[in-house]
Amino acid sequence: MKIVLANCPPWTEKTPPINLGYLTAYLREKGHEVFPFDFNIEAYTLAKAHEKYIWSRDLDGRWIKDKLSFLRREINRWTGKILKTKAKVIGITVIYDSISVCIELAKEIKKRAPDKIIIFGGPHCHRGFISKEFLKHNFIDIFVIGEGEETLNQVLNKLEKDKQIDFCQGTIIRKKSKGLKKSSKKSKGSKESELIDCGDRPPINNLDSIPFPDYSDLPLDKYSKRQMIPILGSRGCISKCTFCQDPNNIRTYRSRSGKNIFEEMELRYKQGYREFYFNDLLMNGNTKALHELCDLLKKTTWHKHINLGGQMKARKEMTFELYKKLREVGCHQVMFGIESGSQEILNKMNKGTTVEANEKNIQDCAKAGILVEIALIVGFPGETEETFAETIKLIKNNYKYIDTIAALYALDLRIGSHVSNNIDNYDIIREKDIWYWHTKDKNNTFEWRLRLIYDVIKTANELGIKLGFDDAHFYFYHALRYYHIYKKQYDKSFDVMNDALQYLSTKVKKYQNKMLERDEIEKRLKNQVQEKENEIAELQSQKNKKRK
């Protein structure tokens, strides 16, 4: 059966989307005709120079509908490309940042072709999010919950055979959608009059059985990192962190064998790729597979020409010898989800690690010659000035080993996370926005959490640790200003804007002074060069006179 798979902006512009690659390969192997479209890279390519910065900003993705003037025209064009395939089914991958664009695209498709079946899937198609964001949009026919390969294959088979679908494990089906059969089955956790929840599908246990991602129909020459390719060595996570929604979305951890990962890397190397970034929630969940991968890579002649990296958890199984082994086969960068320097907070987060293990892993990794990046979360319920001071202490004690603070967040109430689902247990008062919660004692507020972020930024700048975002101060002022607007505290918002402008003008003056200094140095050097050239000319003239 024909199916379109679409990826909407914003997404990374560096590499082809691995989700499209996996679904394309799997469904083609099952005999379906697949039309993959990466509309994100199309939008990025067509964006003007001053608009491209938006893809690198760590801001709410709902900007794109308002910020990019060409988006409406592009959605019309994308719809035309989709309808030209004559595919009955259109699958759209949804992440939090791309929600608004996905909705607009689905709406336009249904407007022009009401008989098409729209399927939403991806990381933000879980039950909590569907009930919050998508329930009212009756142009979305099916939601895929969890892994998409087997579920999509069964959906397509049912539609091809029966021309309708009333039940399929791993989906939530809209009852009244055109072309979809009404069902007598009771929904689970949804309004019975709207949706049929068909329950979870068991996960694919043998990940080695899944074909390697197929990127053959994507515009590979348009991605900015043409020698980089994503690798997914595992699915799920060995941790159950309370701030994260992934434990509810992907409940079982599974890993590919080191041999299977190696075979894909070997294929990609032959295709010209030299950088491999592991998209796993953690690339060291299975240290046995990691050892196997390293051993296989070390036997090749090409491991000296590659670069690999990803996100890891600080674990006792990660010895200095293993980090050294990783470095020898091309691992140049690792990011650790450190989150906090306080054991009390780590326990509340259910991180399953210790401050000592975090510090040992940071140091062993750095000593092995691998660049260390860390991620931090401030303001977790129970955070105090004292526990936060322990995070600052960890940074100061390990600044020689930390290359970059790659991610720095104030805790948000992510839909589907344990914290969000159990706010009473954490003494939290929820606001409409996931960022602006506060504790009942009002000691932990959004403004306070922002101040903690500012203190981390200040500490990093003082110690020479790089920050993994464009302009930390921009983030601080931007976030605080919009918080006051949300609270309708317009005077405070205006004051923040004034502070931001003052900071910006100071920064501009510093930049201008640097430019002036550079001009002065360049002018002085030119004068020195001119003086030397004059001396040489004078010496040459005297030399010529002596010859005569």
Last residue of a domain, one of 450, 466, 488: 488
- Has residue 182 got a pLDDT over 70? no
Let me know if residue 210 belongs to a domain: no
- Has residue 181 got a pLDDT over 90? no
- The number of domains in the chain is 3
Domain membership of residue 41 as a residue range: 2-197
Let me know if residue 338 belongs to a domain: yes
Question: Residue 308: what pLDDT?
Answer: 96
Q: Which long-range contacts (CB under 8 A, 24 or more apart) does 178-187 make?
A: 178/114, 178/115, 179/115, 179/117, 179/141, 180/117, 180/141, 180/142
Residue 247 and residue 173 in one domain: no
Let me know if residue 300 belongs to a domain: yes
What number is the average pLDDT over the span 166-186? 69
Distance CA 223, CA 248 (A): 32
pLDDT in tens, 221-270: 999 999 999 999 999 999 999 999 887 778 899 999 999 999 999 999 99
Which residues on neighbouring strands pair with residue 528, listed in sequence order? none
Q: What is the mean pLDDT of the chain?
A: 89
Distance CA 207, CA 149 (A): 11
Reported as a pLDDT band with limits 50, 70 and 90, residue 524 is confident
Burial class (CB in 10 A: 0-12, 13-18, 19+), 341: buried
Reported as a pLDDT band with limits 50, 70 and 90, residue 190 is very low
Reported as a pLDDT band with limits 50, 70 and 90, residue 177 is very low
Let me know if residue 99 belongs to a domain: yes
Burial class (CB in 10 A: 0-12, 13-18, 19+), 51: middle
Distance CA 296, CA 266 (A): 10
Let me know if residue 215 belongs to a domain: no
Q: Where is mean pLDDT largest: 99-103, 150-154, 457-461?
A: 150-154
Question: Residue 537: what pLDDT?
Answer: 78
Residue 82: partners with Cβ closer than 8 Å, 6 or more residues away? 4, 6, 35, 37, 90, 109
Q: Output helix, strand, coil percentages for the chain, rounded to the nearest 5.
A: 50, 15, 35
Residue 132 and residue 248 in one domain: no
Last residue of a domain, one of 463, 488, 513: 488
Provide the residue type at 486 as one letter.
Y
Residue 443 and residue 509 in one domain: no
pLDDT in tens, 397-420: 999 999 999 999 899 998 889 999
Residue 181 and residue 235 in one domain: no
pLDDT in tens, 25-64: 999 999 999 999 999 999 999 888 877 766 765 444 555 5
Reported as a pLDDT band with limits 50, 70 and 90, residue 518 is confident
Residue 259 and residue 162 in one domain: no
Residue 460 and residue 497 in one domain: no
Let me know if residue 445 belongs to a domain: yes
- Has residue 466 got a pLDDT over 60? yes
Last residue of a domain, one of 197, 214, 244: 197
Reported as a pLDDT band with limits 50, 70 and 90, residue 1 is very high
Residue 458 and residue 529 in one domain: no
* Tokens standing for residue 44: 């990025």
Residue 75 and residue 23 in one domain: yes
Residue 432 and residue 542 in one domain: no
What number is the average pLDDT over the span 217-224? 96
Q: How far does Cα 477 stand from its chain's mean position?
A: 23
What number is the average pLDDT over the span 491-519? 76
What number is the average pLDDT over the span 119-143? 84
Residue 95 and residue 150 in one domain: yes
Residue 530 and residue 454 in one domain: no
- Weakest mean pLDDT among 150-164, 191-205, 277-291: 191-205
Question: Residue 191: what pLDDT?
Answer: 45
What is the CATH number for 443?
3.80.30.20
Residue 472 and residue 537 in one domain: no
Let me know if residue 220 belongs to a domain: no
- Has residue 17 got a pLDDT over 90? yes
Q: How far does Cα 215 stand from its chain's mean position?
A: 20
% the chain with pLDDT above 70: 90
What is the CATH number for 7?
3.40.50.280
Q: What angle do CA 160, 148, 375 make, to 5 degrees?
A: 165
Question: Residue 25: what pLDDT?
Answer: 98
Let me know if residue 334 belongs to a domain: yes
